Amino acid sequence: MKLYMAPGSCTTGIHILLEELGLPFEAWIISIPASQHLQPEYLALNPKGSIPTLVLDDGQSLTDYIAISYWLARRHPRARLMPDDALAAARVMEILAYVVGTVHGQGFARLFNAEGFAGSGKEALQGQGRAIVDKAFAILDTQLVGPYAAGEFSIADPALFYVEFWADKLDIPLPLRLSAHYTLMRSRPVVQQVLREEGYR
Ligand SMILES: N[C@@H](CCC(=O)N[C@@H](CS)C(=O)NCC(=O)O)C(=O)O
């Protein structure tokens, strides 16, 4: 396997897990200051332009801390990196989601990259938000297995649905496959019932 990483970044967490598991891997250093994460060769591996990326033995790329760590834990059950108990496992996911999404994604991201967030006010910030959403929708559009996010209906679909729903409300166009996913979700009786219950007609 190949781990695309930068010393001292969030990739250190995956580096620790690979070493804990004693797995052989090649470390490929990506310099964020030198914008190596935005080079076409790297974007071909990970169109999000983020690290970590783990390239598996069969050549597939796996991105994002939560996905990579989950896969490692499932692949190596004897290391007991995820509790068997459903609630205990959910508690692990709860911490992961908060650390990655909020502590890192919102807190440290601003501490480390204030220039990236600072703009000339509300419009500039909304422009940044829109650029992030547009890029993410384009990536998710290519990753959607179909007809649901991961093929069959899963816990990913209601999450994808709520951002598609927000896009709809804000008149942000959805790419073709996400648009089909949104339509499919809206055709589910439960989704219609929930929207009705929440006051949407
Ligand atoms: N949610 C992503 C976040 C990854 C992330 O933001 N990594 C930073 C390095 S710690 C990065 O790639 N920064 C470059 C950028 O996003 O432009 C994950 O869990 O992998």
Averages of pLDDT over each 10 residues, the chain, 201 residues:
96 96 98 97 98 98 98 97 96 96 94 84 92 96 96 96 96 98 98 96 81
Residue nearest to atom 15 of ligand 1 (CA): 50
| pLDDT value for 86 | 97
- Share of the chain residues as helix, strand and coil, in percent rounded to the nearest 5: 60, 10, 30
- Residue 36 · residue 46 · CB < 8 Å: no
- Same structural domain for residues 172 and 186? yes
Helices (runs of H) and strands (runs of E) counted in the chain: 10, 4
Residue nearest to atom 6 of ligand 1 (CA): 50
pLDDT score at 115: 86
Distance in angstroms (rounded) separating the CA atoms of residues 64 and 4: 11
Q: What is the CA radius of gyration of the chain?
A: 19
137: tokens are 């929708």
Same domain for 145 and 193? Answer: yes
Residues 92 and 68 reside in one and the same domain: no
Closest CA to 149 of 98, 123, 185, 97: 185
Same domain? For 24 and 92 the reply is: no
**Nearest residue to 65 via CA among 33, 128, 18:** 18
Query: Do 140 and 157 fall within a single domain?
Result: yes
Together in a domain, 54 and 27: yes
List the residue whose alpha carbon is closest to atom 20 of ligand 1: 64
Same domain, 30 and 74: yes
- Residue 184 Cα to ligand 1 midpoint, Å, equals 31
pLDDT computed for residue 201 by the predictor: 81
CA distance 80 to 113: 35
Q: Is the CB of 50 under 6 A from ligand 1?
A: yes
Report phi then psi at 181, rounded to 5.
-65, -40
Q: Is 49 in the pocket of ligand 1 (CB under 6 A)?
A: yes
Structure tokens at 152: 């069959």
**Cα distance between residue 168 and residue 182, in whole Å:** 9
Ligand 1 pocket, mutate which of 38, 46, 48, 50 (most atoms under 8 A from CB): 50
Output the CA 197–ligand 1 centroid distance in Å.
37
For ligand 1, atom 1: residue with the closest CA:
64
Give the DSSP H/E element, type plus range, for residue 63: strand 61-63
Give the integer Cα–Cα distance in Å for 78 and 22: 12
Give CA–CA dist 116/177, Å, rounded.
30
**Do 96 and 51 lie in a common domain?**
no
Q: Is 30 in the pocket of ligand 1 (CB under 6 A)?
A: no
Total domain count for the chain?
Answer: 3
Helix (H, G, I), strand (E, B) or coil at 86: helix
Pocket of ligand 1 contains residue 157 by CB under 6 Å = no
Residue 69 and residue 111 in one domain: no
| Same structural domain, 199 and 145 | yes
CB–CB of 6/46 below 8 Å? no
Question: Same structural domain for residues 135 and 200?
Answer: yes
Find the domain containing 27 and state its range: 2-79
pLDDT on residue 46? 98
pLDDT score recorded for residue 177: 98
